[in-house]
Structure 1
C-alpha cells in the first residue's frame, strides 16, 4: 500500500509531453480491490425532473414545464460511494441524514447500488435534497433544500462511533466534505488520527475555506475555485506555475499531497516535497458536469486503494471524469467503461477527431460511445473530389447522431466501381480531407465494393445515404433496422457530381492537335 506520493514521479510540462505521459500510466488493467473503501461526509438526495417546454406562462415571463418523468440518485458523499461501487470496488458510507422520508429514499437508492452504510438520523436537520429541472440535456432550474448547520453533538458522537467500528477493516478513507455539517472539526481530526495509526490513506474532497482542518491527510483534492478560496491567490486554469504556487502553500500547511483538478486543463499533483506532475485531460463531449468531482475522487481513491501508483490513479480518475461528463445528470461510471478507454489509449491509439482508423479501432470506440449513451451514425462513399453535395450529406448525417463514422472506399475499390483513371485522389488524401471536416468523427477505409461487412461490425444507430437511393436498396439497411436503428436518405444538392467534375477537368480538344486557343485581352 502506497501511503504518499511516489518518489519517482517526473515533472511534466507542455501539452505534447502531457499527452505522452498520460498514456504511459495506463499499461496496467483496471482491477479494483474487493476490500472496502470507507466514505465519510455530507450525503444528499439528487432528484431529477425531466420534461418539455412548449410555451411561456401567461402569469409571468417564465417557461411552463410539462413533467414527463423523475429520477432519484445519490449525491455528495453518497454519490462518491455509488461511483466506487460502479467502478468495481466496495464502499461503506457513514453519513448523517434527516429523520424524514427523503432520508429513507436515499437509503433505498444506496441499497439498490449495493452500498452498505451507517446513516445517522438527525431529527432536527432535514436531508439535503437538490432538485434539478431539465429539458433534454439542459437544466433550466435547480432547487436546493438544505440546512448547512453543524451536526448536533449526538449526531457527531454516532458518526464517530460508526467510523471507529469500520475503519479497521477498510483499505482507504474518503472524506467527502460539502460543508453541510457532517464533517465537524472533531470528526475530521479523529478520523485522520485513527487512519494514520492504522496506516490507512486518507483522501479529502474539500469545501472549507480553511484547509488546515485536513492536516495529516494523505491527499487533498481541490478544484481551482476551492484552491483560490483557500489561498486567496488567483489560479488561472492553464497556468502551471500558478497552480504549483497555490497548491504548494496548501501542501506545506497540511503535509498532504495536493491533487488539483483543472477542468479542461487536466489535473496536477503537488506533493509537500519533490517534483510536480501535470496531466492532460481526457474529457469527452461535455453534456453535464453534475457529480464529476465525486467521480474523480472515487476513481482516484479506488486506484490508490488497489495499489496503483499515484500517477496511475490520476490517469484512471482522468478517464472516469471524461466518461462522467459525457453523460447527463449524476451518472455512474462503470468499471468496463474505464477499462475499455484504458485499453484504447494504452495501445497507443490517441484518436483525435476526424482520424483515419482501422475497423477494429472504430469498433472499440463505437462500444465506448454506446456505453456513454452516445448515438453513432454511419455514411459511406468514394468521395473522390469533394463537392457541396458531399458536404451537405455529411452535415445532414451528423445532425442525426452524436458521433459520425465515415466509410471510405479504398483506391482498389474505387477503380473496380468507377473504372480506369479513378480515383483522382489517393485514399490517404481523401481521408485527410474528409477527416478535416467538422461533421466527421472517424474515417475507416474498406476494400470491398460495398460497406456491408463494416456496417455489420459497427451496427450503427443511424445509416445515411443520398436520396437517390431507396431505403430498401441501401447496403446495410437490413442490419441497422434489425438492430433497432434508423436508415435515412439525405436531400441531394442539384447538379453536384464527382463524375461531372472529372469530365469538366479534362483538357478541351481543339481543331489543331497539340495547339490550344489563346485569347488575348484587349
Structure 2
C-alpha cells in the first residue's frame, strides 16, 4: 500500500493563510442584541490555504518547499511557528513583505457549530519586486522538484505573470503543475497538468450546469479545452469526476462518512494527488487515493491533515474482498481497483486438488509478499491433461471454494491452459510466488513480470506433502 511509496519533492506556491478557531459554549442570548453569548474556552491557530496544502503533503511524507507572501506581523510569526513544527517543509522561500498583511480567518464555534467568521485581509496585487521574488523562488525550488502545486485562494499571490512563469518553468523541466483554481478565465492556467475546481468553481468558469455526471463531464471538457490539461471536479458527497485530455472520464465515489467540516478538504485532495504523483504513480491512482483522504479529513473539525497511517488503513478497508472466484475479465477489473488504491499484487497458482499443509504454507508465504493475493487454479480439463484421467478428485468449483475460504486469499481465478502464463499476462501481478522446488528461471511468467519491474519469490516447502502421495496412501490403505 502507500506505506511502500517513496514520495518525492513538491513545490507549493500560493496564498498563505492562518486559520484561527475560537471555541466555547453558548447558553444564552445577549441582552444587548439578538446574538448568542459565547463562553470562550479555547483559541487555536493552524496553517491554511497553500500552507495547509503543504502541511498535508508533508504529513503524508513528501518533501515540501513552500512559497508565498506574509507580512511582518504577529500572524506571520504564528503561521511560521506552526509550519516549523512539521518535518519536511522548507520555509526559506517565503517572502516577507512589509506592505503585506498576513491573511487570517477566525471562526467562532460553539461545539461543532460555526457561529461567525471574521476575516483579516487586504487583497491587493503584490509589488513588481515581490512578484519577481516569487518567480525566482519557484524557479530555484523546481530544480529538484517532482510536482508543482499552485494553490489559488484569490488573495493576490498568483497573479497572471506569476502563474504563467511557474507553468513555463515547470514545462521546461517536465514537471506537472496542479492548480486549485479560483478564476473565471481558466486560460490563465495554460500549461498546467491538472486543475481541481469544485462544482461551483467549474460552473463559474464555464457557465454550464453541473448537476449530474453528464453535465459535469461536459463542463469539464469545456474547462479542459480552455487551458489544455486534465480536470478533476470535486463534488462533495457525490465524489469526484476526472476528465482527462484523451477524453476518458472517471467518476470516483467517496466513502460514506458523517461530514462535520469541509474546511480545507480541497487542500487535502490537492496535496494527496501531488504526493502520489511524486511517488511515480498514475493520475487515476492519485485521484482514487485522494478521495479516501478527503473522506477522512471532512470527519475532522476545522483545518486538518491526514496521516499516512490513517490513509493506509482507510484504503485497506475499501478494498476488502472475501476470496471470491472471478472470471479473467472481472479479476482484471478488481485488481485494477486494488492498484488504484496503492496495493501490491501477489500471485501463485496450482491444482490444489486435496489441500494439504504444503499448500497452506505456500499460500501463507505468498500472502506475505503483497497486500492482495490472487490464486490461479487449473480447470478440471487442465488438471486431467497434467495429472491423468482420474484427476482431479474435486471439481474446479469445489477447489476454488476451498482456496477462496483461506484467510490469505483475496481472489481466485480458474485457467484452462496447461500453464497460467496467459492469466499472468492479463493480471500483471507484482510478484509471483512458487515453491522452492522450482528454480527461478523455471517459473512460468517469471520473465514476463520482470519486464515491468515485477519479481519472483521461491517459498520454502513442507517436504513429503503432495496430493499424489495422499492418493497413493489411500489406495494402499495406509
Band the TM-score falls in, shorter-chain normalisation: 0.5 to 0.7
Change (3 A) 1:254 1:145: same
Residue 335, structure 1, aligned to residue 308, structure 2: yes
Superposition pairs of residues 20-169 of structure 1, within 5 angstroms: 28-114=1-87, 115-117=89-91, 118-169=93-144
- 2:209 and 2:216 in contact (8 A); partners too: no
Instruction: Specify every segment of 5 or more residues in structure 1 that has no aligned partner in the other structure, as ranges.
Output: 1-27, 350-522
- 2:7 and 2:275 in contact (8 A); partners too: no
- 1:195 and 1:201 in contact (8 A); partners too: yes
- 1:312 maps to which of 251, 272, 285: 285
- 1:288 maps to which of 243, 248, 261: 261
Residue 256, structure 1, aligned to residue 229, structure 2: yes
Change (3 A) 1:177 1:283: farther
Deviation per CA, 1:436-457: give whole Å up to 9, x if none. xxxxxxxxxxxxxxxxxxxxxx
Q: d(CA) in 1 for partners of 2:318 and 2:3?
A: 13
Q: SS in structure 1 opposite 2:258?
A: coil
Deviation per CA, 1:231-265: give whole Å up to 9, x if none. 111211xx111011111011112111001111111
Superposition pairs of residues 441-520 of structure 1, within 5 angstroms: none
Q: d(CA) in 2 for partners of 1:213 and 1:107?
A: 30
**Count of aligned residue pairs for this structure pair:** 320
For residue 30 of structure 1, report the CA deviation from its aligned partner. Answer: 4.5
For residue 119 of structure 1, report the CA deviation from its aligned partner. Answer: 1.6
For residue 88 of structure 1, report the CA deviation from its aligned partner. Answer: 2.0
- 2:256 and 2:295 in contact (8 A); partners too: yes
- 2:177 maps to which of 198, 202, 207: 202
Deviation per CA, 1:258-307: give whole Å up to 9, x if none. 01111111111112223211111124211111111100111111111111
For residue 125 of structure 1, report the CA deviation from its aligned partner. Answer: 2.1
Q: d(CA) in 2 for partners of 1:178 and 1:32?
A: 30
For residue 177 of structure 1, report the CA deviation from its aligned partner. Answer: 0.4
- 1:83 and 1:294 in contact (8 A); partners too: yes
Deviation per CA, 1:292-323: give whole Å up to 9, x if none. 11001111111111111211111110010000
Residue 321, structure 1, aligned to residue 303, structure 2: no
Q: SS in structure 1 opposite 2:94?
A: strand
- 1:31 and 1:306 in contact (8 A); partners too: no
Q: SS in structure 1 opposite 2:129?
A: helix
Q: d(CA) in 2 for partners of 1:322 and 1:32?
A: 21
Q: d(CA) in 2 for partners of 1:31 and 1:213?
A: 37
For residue 89 of structure 1, report the CA deviation from its aligned partner. Answer: 1.7
Deviation per CA, 1:3-38: give whole Å up to 9, x if none. xxxxxxxxxxxxxxxxxxxxxxxxx43544342200
Q: d(CA) in 1 for partners of 2:254 and 2:7?
A: 28
Which residue of 1 is the match for residue 201 of structure 2? Answer: 226
Q: d(CA) in 1 for partners of 2:26 and 2:46?
A: 23
Q: d(CA) in 2 for partners of 1:283 and 1:330?
A: 20
For residue 346 of structure 1, report the CA deviation from its aligned partner. Answer: 2.1
Deviation per CA, 1:203-253: give whole Å up to 9, x if none. 1000111111001100011000000000111211xx111011111011112
Q: SS in structure 2 opposite 1:246?
A: helix
Q: SS in structure 2 opposite 1:73?
A: strand
For residue 138 of structure 1, report the CA deviation from its aligned partner. Answer: 1.3
Deviation per CA, 1:329-368: give whole Å up to 9, x if none. 111111100000111222237xxxxxxxxxxxxxxxxxxx
Q: SS in structure 2 opposite 1:67?
A: strand
Q: d(CA) in 2 for partners of 1:48 and 1:162?
A: 31
Tell me the C-alpha RMSD between the 2 structures.
Answer: 1.2
Which residue of 1 is the match for residue 321 of structure 2? Answer: 348
Taking structure 1 as the reference length, what is the TM-score of the superposition? 0.60
- 2:7 and 2:276 in contact (8 A); partners too: no
- 2:2 and 2:308 in contact (8 A); partners too: no
Which residue of 2 is the match for residue 302 of structure 1? Answer: 275
Q: SS in structure 1 opposite 2:254?
A: coil
